[in-house]
Amino acid sequence: MTVHVRFAPSPTGRLHVGNARAAVLNWLFARRHGGRFLFRLDDTDTERSTGEFAQAIAEDLRWLGLDWDGHFRQSDRLDVYHAAAERLKASGRLYPCYETPEELELRRKLQLARRLPPVYDRAALKLSDDDRAKLEAEGRKPHWRFKLDQTAVHWHDLIRGEVTVDAASLSDPVLLRADGRVLYTMSSVVDDGDTAITHVIRGEDHVTNTGVQIQLFQALGRPVPQFAHFSLFTDAAGAGLSKRLGALSLAEMRADGIEPMALNAFLARLGSADPIELCHSLAELVPGFDLGRFGKAPAHFDPAELEHLNARLVHHLRFDEVAGRLPDGADEAFWLAVRGNLAHVREAAEWWQVVAGPVAPLVDGEAEYLAAASAVLPPGPWDGETWKAWTEAVKAATGRKGKGLFLPLRRALTARDHGPEMKDLLPLIGESRARARLRGEKA
């Protein structure tokens, strides 16, 4: 059996970390088992789906490095869904209902007031042909519900173990709206069947829906996939993360300087028994990937932990991986000098300003000391040994040592109290700018 999985977002907003987690886990599972990863756009919600969001989702997947083996839109398959609906109607599993949204809401409130579960009472099944004809003559158009077998549905979940959903406690789901629009439960099952999906890997908020969909697979005569439901993200306080929060969209994370492999490594392990480790490529994550390592406990999404992982990754990025994001003129020597002090690649621009100027030096009453230091500054060209030789000469000339020796030189040359190794920065600053800064001049 060839493994087939899918990532099926709705293009009604930007990709969020929760969506991205589903994409990463599905992609890794497919690659781990030599299978296929399909990218499907669930865009039957015509009121909210947009081409702009669809394009943005594809861009986010490419940014993460998640290539796909097939891609399609549900909006191109509406005839297929309606044909499946006709088969369900013919078998008696899809039945028309004429209640208005207001009537259904009133009925729900009455059930709750009586302390009854707000489950659809199947009143439409009691309608005669004459009743239906009368309602349609009044201008009512039916929506269509799937008649559930009121039995318990069981499956072995690859993450949660044995799961049971009591279909008798559920409302018969609406598969077709009165205006003919197909709803998610229907289109998803038809697509999964047509594309031979073998494993559905998604969030635990779909567990109840899975019980419904298993019956729908069976009613349509399609093989039932295996399921894996991972726990949802919570914040540090244990509250759920809203997918509407822009700060958790991939677009915002990219703008904030998060590296795609930092996010991939974070999402691939968070919520599992495996430690989150620094990875430089998706290929490194594939061999050890195992859904069985994931647990049912909530996964705490800590942005600070992601930022820490991101900084560690930046510290190891090669020059060729970042060259296109560095300021004009920045070379490999510069990158190697500053990367260990960066949390995000974009911060390199600040250090390019330090080495290329102009910089207003911080002198702070040290003019006499800096003049003495300038007097023993060796002529160029400089290399990685120049700083040590110079500071030893300054120490001999002034008698200073420790912080009193080094900090005034760093502040004059970089206008900073901290930063990359001066032995690496000094050759980049160069003799002309260094001497000017030691004189207190902006250079």
Look at residue 236 in the predicted model and tell me its pLDDT.
66
Q: Specify if 280 maps to a domain.
A: yes
Question: How many separate domains does the chain show?
Answer: 2
- Residue 402, classified by CB atoms within 10 Å of its CB into exposed (0-12), middle (13-18) or buried (19+), is exposed
Q: How far is CA 363 from CA 25, 32, 43, 391, 410, in A?
A: 54, 58, 62, 17, 10
**256 located within any domain:** yes
Token readout for 100 is 């208005």
Same domain, 362 and 419: yes
Closest CA to 17 of 210, 279, 203: 203
Cβ contacts of 328 within 8 Å, gap of 6 or more: none
d(CA 340, CA 306): 17
Q: Pick from 299, 319, 339: which residue ends a domain? A: 319
Q: How confident is the model at residue 244 (pLDDT cuts 50, 70, 90)?
A: very low
Q: Which residues contact 17 (CB under 8 A, 6 or more apart)?
A: 233, 241, 248, 249, 250, 253, 263, 267, 301
User: Does 369 share its domain with 311?
Assistant: no
Last residue of some domain: 298, 319, 340? 319
- Please tell me whether residues 374 and 313 are part of one structural domain: no
382, 311: one domain: no
Same domain, 310 and 369: no
pLDDT tens digits for range 192-241: 999 999 999 999 999 999 999 999 999 999 999 999 999 998 876 666 66
Asked, for residue 381, whether it belongs to a domain, the answer is yes
- CB contact at 8 A, 386 and 427: yes
Any idea what the CATH number is for the domain that residue 262 is in? 1.10.1160.10
Final residue belonging to a domain, choices 319, 346, 369:
319
Tell me: the pLDDT tens digits for 36-50? Answer: 999 999 999 888 899
Secondary structure (3-state) at 96: strand
Quick one: pLDDT at residue 246? Answer: 45
Regarding whether 379 and 311 lie in a shared domain, the answer is no
My answer on whether omega of the bond before 408 falls inside 30° of 0, hence cis, is no
Predicted confidence band of residue 442 (pLDDT cuts 50, 70, 90): very high
Query: Which of 334, 439, 443, 441 is closest to 377 using CA atoms?
Result: 439
Instruction: Please write the tens of the pLDDT for every residue from 327-345.
Output: 999 999 999 999 999 999 9
- As a dihedral over the C-alpha atoms of residue 271, residue 272, residue 278, residue 281, rounded to 10 degrees, the angle is -100
* pLDDT of res. 234: 85
In this structure, what CATH number is given to the domain that contains residue 421? 1.10.10.350
For residue 253, pLDDT over 60 is answered with yes
The position carrying tokens 């006499």 is 368
In the predicted model, is pLDDT for residue 391 greater than 80? yes
**Has residue 267 been placed in a domain?**
yes
Domain assignment present for residue 415? The answer is yes
The two three-digit tokens of residue 432, written as one number: 């002309």
3-state DSSP call for residue 70?
A: strand
pLDDT classification of 1: cutoffs 50, 70, 90:
confident
Local confidence band at 245 (pLDDT 50, 70, 90 cut-offs): very low
Domain span at residue 294 reads 246-319
315 and 250, same structural domain?
yes
CB 196 within 8 A of CB 217: no
> DSSP readout, 342-397?
-SSGGGHHHHHHHHHS------TT-HHHHHHHHHTPPPS---TTHHHHHHHHHHHH
The full length of the chain comes to 443
What integer pLDDT is reported at residue 257 of this predicted model?
Answer: 96
Whether residue 307 is contained in a domain is answered as: yes
Residue pair 271/299 in contact by the 8 Å Cβ criterion: yes
Q: Does 9 have pLDDT greater than 70?
A: yes
Within-domain flag for 73: no
The total of other beta-carbon atoms located within 10 Å of residue 124's CB is: 20
389 phi, psi to nearest 5 deg: -65, -40
Q: Map tokens 């390592």 to a residue.
A: 293
What is the reported pLDDT for 46?
85
Is-contact 426 413, C-beta < 8 A?
yes
Give the chain's mean pLDDT. 95
The structure tokens listed for 262 are 């930092």
Q: Kindly report which listed range (61-65, 246-250, 366-370) carries the lowest average pLDDT score.
A: 246-250
CA–CA gap between residue 87 and residue 69 (Å, rounded): 30
What is the pTM assigned to this prediction? Answer: 0.92
What CA–CA distance (Å, rounded) separates 263 from 142?
Answer: 46
Name the percent of the chain lying above pLDDT 70.
97
Q: What is the DSSP string of 41-69?
A: E----TTT--HHHHHHHHHHHHHHT---S
Answer whether residue 363 is part of any domain: yes
68-91 burial code (b ≥16 CB/10 A, e <16): beeeeebbebeeebeebbeebeee
